[in-house]
Amino acid sequence: MVLKKREMSTTENEGVYTDFSNDMTYGEYLQLDKILSSQKGLSDHHDEMLFIIIHQVSELWMKLMIHEINAAISSISTGDFQTSFKQLARVSKTQIQIIQAWDVLSTLTPSEYLEFRDQLGQASGFQSYQYRMIEFALGYKTDHVLQIYKKEPTLQRELEKAYIAPGLYDVSIKALANAGFEIDQRLLERDYSITYTPNQSVNKAWLEVYKNVNKYWNLYQLGEKLVDIEDCLQQWRFRHMKTVERIIGFKRGTGGSSGVSYLKKVLDHRFFPELWDIRTEL
């Protein structure tokens, strides 16, 4: 039996490439040497590895989200709705992965975290520039966070560029205007560095879209994709808040934020307000 198993194994592996003397390997393509050597803890505590990996993985997922959101903004701007739907759907699926990451981090107990928390100094997830890029792309602009990145001028310039750029909802509103809806002209020419606030003309347009789904199918699909993204982002924020509360209670965050109190406050913000309001009006 052992000989037969060996024979089968050999047969199944025939044709497998094993000589990489002059060819690129899987690990080289993914630069795994860099990725897998980047978990450098500041303590000897066993659970710091979990803490680092969860945050690194989340940052990688956020990189993909930014990549897809920016692509969707370009697609919507040119009227390529079908491509934008694929891109936005990928954002939502990626968000699910980040939401589930909190379940893994929540296995870290308060006592375990206290063993290495002081080693973090002032470093905090509050300083995640990619998360700020996502917020900016979704229309939530807060200028005070830009001060955090003075240490890295190149990074600060990228954030400032995103801060004044039109976001996902801005190009969606322009798509409504391009479809013939009467959108407040001041809104179409607004300062994009200011966080978006509800507008009656946008509310009226979305309401018409949802009342005439077949006529405005692309816009209807776009509206639902935006709702998917906001729904998932709020779930992520909620799981973030509950995980923080579970691990450190109502202590201040390592970066100086109010911790759970701050996280509860941002839960009240709505990125695409009219798309939620019309559900009551329909």
The CB-based long-range contact list for 142-151 (8 Å cut-off, 24+ gap) reads 142/195, 143/193
Q: Binding residue per annotation — 51? A: yes
Q: Where are the alpha helices (DSSP H) in the chain?
A: 2-12, 26-30, 32-35, 48-77, 81-105, 110-114, 129-137, 153-164, 168-178, 185-188, 200-211, 217-248, 260-266, 273-281
Q: Binding residue per annotation — 98? A: no
Q: Binding residue per annotation — 67? A: no
> Would you state the structure tokens that stand for residue 280, as one six-digit string?
């009551």
Instruction: Please report the pLDDT score of residue 268 as a whole number.
Output: 87
Q: Binding residue per annotation — 254? A: yes
Q: How far is CA 213 from CA 84, 104, 180, in A?
A: 18, 40, 15
Residue by residue, pLDDT tens for the chain (282 residues) are: 454 555 545 566 777 877 788 889 999 999 999 999 999 999 999 999 999 999 999 999 999 999 999 999 999 999 999 999 999 999 999 999 999 999 999 999 999 999 999 898 878 878 899 999 999 999 999 888 888 888 899 999 999 999 999 999 999 999 999 999 999 999 999 999 999 999 999 999 999 999 999 999 999 999 999 999 999 999 999 999 999 999 989 887 676 666 788 888 888 899 999 999 999 999
Q: Binding residue per annotation — 54? A: yes
Q: Binding residue per annotation — 73? A: no
Q: Binding residue per annotation — 117? A: yes
Q: Closest by alpha carbon to 231, among 84, 92, 100, 62?
A: 92
Instruction: Please report the pLDDT score of residue 9 as a whole number.
Output: 56
